[in-house]
Structure 1
Amino acid sequence: MQQDISIRDDRAAPSETPNFIAPSLRRRMACWLYEGMLLFGVVFLAGYLFGTLSQTRNALDNRHFLQAFMLVVLGIYFVWFWSKGSGQTLAMKTWHIRVLDAQGHPLTQTRALLRYTVSWMWWLPPLAVLYPFDLPPLEVLVLMAGWIMVWALLSRFHPKKQFWHDAWAGTQLVHQAPAPKRIR
């Protein structure tokens, strides 16, 4: 009987971060739009809860408190999904996209909160520019859509094709291969 003896080299190889594949911009934006549709339900329920608890009768009453409440609710939604379990929201699971830190590890709650805060770059610059002007809603919509397209296209200039808010937060979006289907 011949015994297979393998010799293991215990010298550690230099540690390298895994080379993850960034999803295409088209897939990331499709996920972004789908996330917006799913968030409609979250925002609706949170708004209903806020209106009921605060006994708000007019939509303009308590507007700033409602906005702050929504900011917190959305923060809880994203931080929870990004930092717990798979690092995916419901839309990200559908589009097979996962968020990891720069080293390829799952996000901590602190890193997820940082990503949520920095991801407001999708909205804050155009809102800050538009705030002093009293523009009609159609013009606001066109300017917001233009900024979103510019922000998304700027990811083409990132070395790893990531959104810049991900680079600033130390995170990355990666392709998450679907689990193999079981054959019964």
Structure 2
Amino acid sequence: MTDHPATCELYTPAPLWRRLAAMLYDSLLCIALAFVVTAIYTALHKLLISAGLFSDRYGAMLEAEGNVGHDPVLALVLVVSLWLFFGFFWRRAGQTLGMQTWRIRIENPDGSVISWTQALLRVIAGLLSWATFGLGWLWQWWDPQDRSWTDRLSRSRTMQLAKRKKHD
């Protein structure tokens, strides 16, 4: 399993550049996830409309928009998909694939993995950070404990892991 960073002096708050590098890596995975989820949603949506399971008014509304890109249900499905994606990784080992590459970990102050509620709060704070052009992550520069909005809102922390020693 993973080491408990809270018990090791070599772990420090992750610097912003590492967080951004991991986000760039993970954003590629999230874009792929969004494409797959949108394709499945669109296919199911068209199937349900053609089967007459949605009201004509809802179908007409989407037709007037020209696509399902303005569908609030799709937006909610995508946010839930992101929550499940990040929550799965953060609940399992505290790291997404990008975070593993850049040796950072999300954890509670005692070193334990975060809860599903904390994962949801991190996703919401992340969306707010994007909406404010990165202010939520830049906040780390002014916070005395190097916490971003995602860390503060979820009462968790993002730590840099020490390099693993190679065994002979």
Q: TM-score, normalised by structure 2?
A: 0.74
Q: What is the identity, as a one-letter code, of the residue corresponding to 1:67?
A: A
Verify: 1:33 aligned to 2:40, yes or no.
no
Ranges in structure 2 where 5+ consecutive residues have no aligned partner: 1-5, 48-62
Aligned to 2:157: 172
Distance in 2, matches of 1:99 and 1:80, equals 12
Q: Describe the SS at the equivalent of 1:55.
A: helix
Verify: 1:64 aligned to 2:49, yes or no.
no
Equivalent residue pairs, number = 144
Q: Which structure ranks higher in relative contact order (CA pairs < 8 Å, sequence separation ≥ 6)? A: 2
Q: Which has the larger Rg?
A: 1
Aligned to 1:108: 115
8 Å Cα contact 2:123-2:150 kept in structure 1:
no
Deviation string for 1:66-112 (max 9, x for gaps)?
Answer: 1111111111111111112x111111111111000122221122322
Q: TM-score, normalised by structure 1?
A: 0.68
8 Å Cα contact 1:102-1:172 kept in structure 2:
yes
Q: CA deviation at 1:62?
A: 6.5
Moved over 6 A (4+): none
Q: Describe the SS at the equivalent of 1:123.
A: helix
Distance in 1, matches of 2:167 and 2:40, equals 41
Distance in 2, matches of 1:182 and 1:164, equals 38
Match of 2:14 among 7, 16, 23: 23
Deviation string for 1:42-85 (max 9, x for gaps)?
Answer: 1111111111111178523772221111111111111111112x
Aligned to 1:80: 88
